[in-house]
Amino acid sequence: ESTQLKDIISHAKEYGFVFPSSEIYDGLQAVYDYGQNGVELKNNIKMLWWKCMTQLNQNVVGIDAAIFMHPLTWKASGHIDSFSDPMIDNKDSQKRYRADVLVEEKAAEYEKAGDLEKAQALVKNLARLLEAEDLKGVQELIISENIKCAVSGTTNWTEVRQFNLMFSTQVGSVAEDASTIYLRPETAQGIFVNFLNVQKTGRMKIPFGIAQIGKAFRNEIVARQFTFRMREFEQMEMQFFVRPGTEEEWYENWKQIRLKWHEAMGIPAEKLRFHDHEKLAHYAKAAVDIEFEFPFGFKEVEGIHSRSDFDLSQHQELSRKKQQYFDNDLNEEGKPFGNYVPYVIETSAGADRLFLMTLCNAFTEEEVIEGEATKTRTFLKLHPALAPVKAAIFPLVRKDGLPEKAQQIFDDLKYDFNVIYEERDAIGKRYTRQDLIGTPYCIAVDYETLENNTVTIRDRDTREQQRVPISELSRIIGDAVSY
Ligand code: ATP
């Protein structure tokens, strides 16, 4: 892990953003808990996604489907048969690895050493073997490349096997009645199986979309890089149902809309890029990732997929219930085939990855001059709309009626914004604490406040203070947090 990522992980822990799960038992790998500031930041990200999807688009509505679904769902979606990663074990250390990742890391080594040709050949070779489902070939590649286990240092590998990423459990109390069900590995299927429910009850006309935010679970073999790859995580997905033949246009459309959304959240354009998939998932006709430049390189934060009619057709076949839409417009245009299974464009983002992206982007260390000395000031340069706390209100001292006045300002603002009141410690220390959690404004109540009802408001990024009337505070904060 890069030093910057390490700094961010310890910052996240120290200031109440993210804790390792069940930490008192030494944690559980690739599972994390969000703390008092983390939950606010993550909720803000989710809320802004939800608003942009459902509130700004009249033809997109939301649902909240269950995590457990009928087992046939996963047969239909292809997850039982093909949602797997190739894995390999080292016989000496008994450590399990993703075979494809081992080869990719070797290729990265070649690249780093300046041998671009060798790196590219290796990646190509791997893609060809995976495409042909030639697991023996992948194993031979690992052996011929002399790839060593990081723990044992040996090349004593088992064969390569496919490892399904779904978690399963039993439902029903008596063994005979029990049946295997899965924790959903994606939220999308909850939308597909409700397609007609929503379409009919909402009288939705194509093109329209259904959005959902919810937990998903994957038994990731390689689990690392903090909240980038978790075993329990949250997805924000939207399925957009379109008339067959219009999917390319809508795919382009949603690509651009989603990229702009990330930029509006305060991510600089140069830290974002599209990455087209060479190898498509079993359901996809076209797929692109939006990647962000993490401290560990450009990596996927969101996928946009053209899924054709794959999912709905599969559900139609296994459930034996028609999953068709009657397109009145087509009939009016005098075209035949008013009934069809719609095509789908999907936008699929991970809330935890966007959280990590936001944190990495906001984490700022700058040199500041304080008196004679230069110091490093660490702060989170979060978009005010995302910041856990919008403003902190401080009385300069704990006497002479200043606390009461500050408390009154707090009470006036708290209905509209997440604000906090703090009176302990020197004011400089209080500013620092707010910088560390990314609070955009600190409001100080001093003796002048008692005379003319003005306060100072300090900007987190410039550290500049301005004197403003109390009556202006709500508008100033409101303007900054509006999106
Ligand atoms: P990767 O290739 O990184 O495993 P993926 O292509 O399998 O990701 P999708 O199935 O397209 O990912 O899932 C959509 C989004 O869900 C991803 O862009 C990512 O933001 C999020 N996501 C997927 N797996 C995880 C995970 N294990 N932890 C956190 N977020 C995840």
For residue 221, what pLDDT is reported?
A: 85
Q: Say whether pLDDT at 1 is over 70.
A: no
Pocket of ligand 1 (CB under 6 A): 218, 220, 229-230, 233, 235, 300-303, 348-350, 352-353
For residue 353, tell me if it sits in a domain: yes
96 with 244, same domain?
Answer: no
For residue 359, what pLDDT is reported?
A: 98
- For residue 295, report the distance from its CA to the centre of ligand 1, in Å: 18
For residue 333, what pLDDT is reported?
A: 72
Residue nearest to atom 20 of ligand 1 (CA): 350
Question: Is position 220 annotated in a ligand binding site?
Answer: yes
The domain in which residue 152 lies consists of 84-164
For residue 176, what pLDDT is reported?
A: 64
The three-point CA angle 43-48-49 to 5° equals 100
416 with 320, same domain?
Answer: no
| DSSP states of 432-464 | HHHHHHT-SEEEEE-HHHHHHSEEEEEETTT--
125 with 260, same domain?
Answer: no
Residue nearest to atom 21 of ligand 1 (CA): 350
343 with 252, same domain?
Answer: yes
- Quick one: average pLDDT of 332-344? 82
CB 5 within 8 A of CB 298: no
For residue 336, what pLDDT is reported?
A: 66
DSSP 390: S
Which residues does 213 contact at the CB level (< 8 Å), separation at least 6?
Answer: 46, 49, 50, 62, 64, 187, 234, 235, 236, 237, 351
Each residue's pLDDT tens digit, 372-381: 899 999 999 9
Q: Which of 359, 375, 404 is the last residue of a domain?
A: 359
Cα-Cα-Cα-Cα dihedral of 388, 390, 396, 402, to 10°? -110
482 vs 51: CA distance, rounded Å: 12
* Residue 418's CATH number: 3.40.50.800
Residue nearest to atom 13 of ligand 1 (CA): 348
462 with 323, same domain?
Answer: no
Question: Is position 301 annotated in a ligand binding site?
Answer: yes
Q: Say whether pLDDT at 179 is over 90.
A: no
Each residue's pLDDT tens digit, 118-134: 999 999 999 999 989 99
Q: Say whether pLDDT at 339 is over 80.
A: yes
Taking the CB of residue 15, how many other CB atoms lie within 10 A of it?
19
For residue 2, what pLDDT is reported?
A: 74
Band of the pLDDT at 337, cuts 50, 70, 90? low
Which of 163, 166, 229 to mutate for ligand 1's pocket (most ligand atoms within 8 Å of CB)?
229
For residue 174, what pLDDT is reported?
A: 65
The number of C-alpha atoms within 13 Å of 206 and in the hemisphere containing its C-beta is 26
137 with 226, same domain?
Answer: no
Question: Is position 128 annotated in a ligand binding site?
Answer: no
> Which contacts qualify for 278-282: CB closer than 8 Å, 24 or more apart?
278/127, 279/127, 279/130, 279/131, 281/305, 282/78, 282/82
- pLDDT-above-70 percentage for the chain: 97
38 vs 43: CA distance, rounded Å: 8
231 with 349, same domain?
Answer: yes
Q: Say whether pLDDT at 223 is over 90.
A: no
Each residue's pLDDT tens digit, 396-429: 999 999 999 999 999 999 999 999 999 999 999 9
159 with 185, same domain?
Answer: no
309 with 201, same domain?
Answer: yes
298 with 403, same domain?
Answer: no
For residue 460, what pLDDT is reported?
A: 97
Question: Is position 346 annotated in a ligand binding site?
Answer: yes
Residue nearest to atom 31 of ligand 1 (CA): 350
Ligand 1 atom at shortest distance from the alpha carbon of 231: 27
285 vs 308: CA distance, rounded Å: 6
350 with 403, same domain?
Answer: no
Q: Say whether pLDDT at 369 is over 70.
A: yes
Q: How many domains does the chain have?
A: 3
Q: Say whether pLDDT at 281 is over 90.
A: no
Residue nearest to atom 8 of ligand 1 (CA): 300
200 with 309, same domain?
Answer: yes
ipTM metric:
0.97
For residue 151, tell me if it sits in a domain: yes
Each residue's pLDDT tens digit, 14-69: 999 999 999 999 999 999 999 999 999 999 999 999 999 999 999 999 999 999 99
